[in-house]
Structure 1
């Protein structure tokens, strides 16, 4: 069997597996059984004449041949979809950019950037989706998004070790802060001493973000009173007096009433770097416009400052 015999369905299934990271998650997203997904992958591997996936206990990983196929498959599928839209009489999508972003970026940064972009470049359409860093990186490599907003903590390692390396543009670096109830003793000053964080009740994230919300480097086992993936839920729990959590400076202007956001002193500076990531190669004009709008919004946001370059 030659690779030219590969079906479009198999290519779509393979791209979904590459993005989701497991056969089970891809099957659920597509509405297929796991055995049906496995059959499509097997047919594609026969056509390619080489293994495309490395099966591991925690999911699957693309082989070198798999990386070639997923990169090419993304282009083929996009062209087929564009043809279908054109035949259906829908406008072309030369100005469409697919953007992925981490949860708290949707609170202020993404809406601010999209509002400015709509004024300056109304012909550009941006389709967005929220996701964890691993999911967004897989989506970039699978070709289902064009840009990803990623947050990184020191030592600011690349988000994955696959090749080719992603292109990472630093938008800003921002200080980590703590959000405390307005009636909490810690809220009386203009900053929090790191020693005063000992013995506090913390509101943390869940899933991929399990440790988010607790101050990094505490020399004690933190007491986690509540967990929530949604940043707004965490901040409302803070406002109600159920604990404290960490936030970046960019959220200062959008916290609910009853919350104070304060810097922490007396320990190492905790920084968070904001990246916009894409696959290597020439960037489409529309994608570059979106990246520029994100950088402008990040720099203009509360508490942010421009640092570094690409």
Structure 2
């Protein structure tokens, strides 16, 4: 096969982004350039590497096989560039992905522990939804991911081999409500009281569910604001402009004016926090970061 390093980088980015358009944006290419690279890869491989679906692009089994080799090749090229330029790695880098609320509650204490126990490790982070981070893990763009799952906790994706997963903690979902107004002074609310409440939610897509509305809410929710940023959502709650669901572990970082309500009249909503990586023996740095997360979460 005659495959360029550019083609391998395009393959990796398509696997991570889940679409040609998103891959083009991340790489700074036009969509047509990414499509040409994808077609060239398939010609060189002599088989289909990409499955075009209504919700985006996924790699075929042949594409996943090539991706495994692409990660190794691109890592070797990076190492060769470092050797040729005489750059000496003084730290052990770990690329960590976290789901959207983990940064506030989990990341700071984990980094503080690492600074004390393993100062030679440098952690770089990126936020994303669980589906996005799983694709990034498979693509080799991150080394480790903090993810979330809901019962019955099935495998994170249908790809093979399965990701190596460790349970960090189980946490309960609660409702963040303004400290003034209808729910002032309360620590619980019946699910029927929340049916007509103004909800603040994260926008949904074909591959990523709506977040922020109570999962067992009867009827259609009344969504007044859509925001991905947790600071925005919680400040809207503090201002009295709506309610949103949050993991109970966020309680230490809530802004003034926000109270947490346990939901009655509905089954508890439990979410499991996980640390995932590709299968195989991890590096000592990845093991240390995993240990810091599990011990401080």
Bin of the TM-score, shorter chain as denominator length: over 0.9
After TM superposition, what 4+ stretches of structure 1 lie above 6 angstroms from structure 2?
none
Equivalent residue, structure 2, for 1:29: 26
Q: 1:128 aligns with which of 125, 128, 145?
A: 125
Note the C-alpha offset of 1:245: 1.1
* TM-score, normalised via structure 1 length: 0.90
2:101 counterpart SS class: helix
**Would you say the 8 A contact 1:99–1:127 is kept in 2?**
yes
**Would you say the 8 A contact 1:82–1:93 is kept in 2?**
no
For residues 265 and 57 of structure 1, do their structure 2 counterparts lie closer, same or farther at Cα, with a shift above 3 Å needed? Answer: closer
* TM-score, normalised via structure 2 length: 0.93
Equivalent residue, structure 1, for 2:264: 265
Gaps of at least 5 residues in structure 2 are none
Equivalent residue, structure 2, for 1:72: 69
Equivalent residue, structure 1, for 2:288: 289
Partners of 2:235 and 2:156 lie apart in 1 by 30
Equivalent residue, structure 1, for 2:6: 9
How many residues were matched structurally? 295
Note the C-alpha offset of 1:37: 1.7
Partners of 2:21 and 2:90 lie apart in 1 by 31
Note the C-alpha offset of 1:94: 6.9
2:124 counterpart SS class: strand
**Would you say the 8 A contact 2:91–2:120 is kept in 1?**
no
Gaps of at least 5 residues in structure 1 are 299-310
CA-based RMSD of the aligned residues comes to 1.7
Partners of 1:102 and 1:122 lie apart in 2 by 24
1:174 matches 2:150: no
| Residue correspondence of structure 1 range 131-150 to structure 2 within 5 A | 131-150=128-147
1:49 matches 2:46: yes
Partners of 2:133 and 2:184 lie apart in 1 by 36
Note the C-alpha offset of 1:93: 7.1
Equivalent residue, structure 1, for 2:196: 199
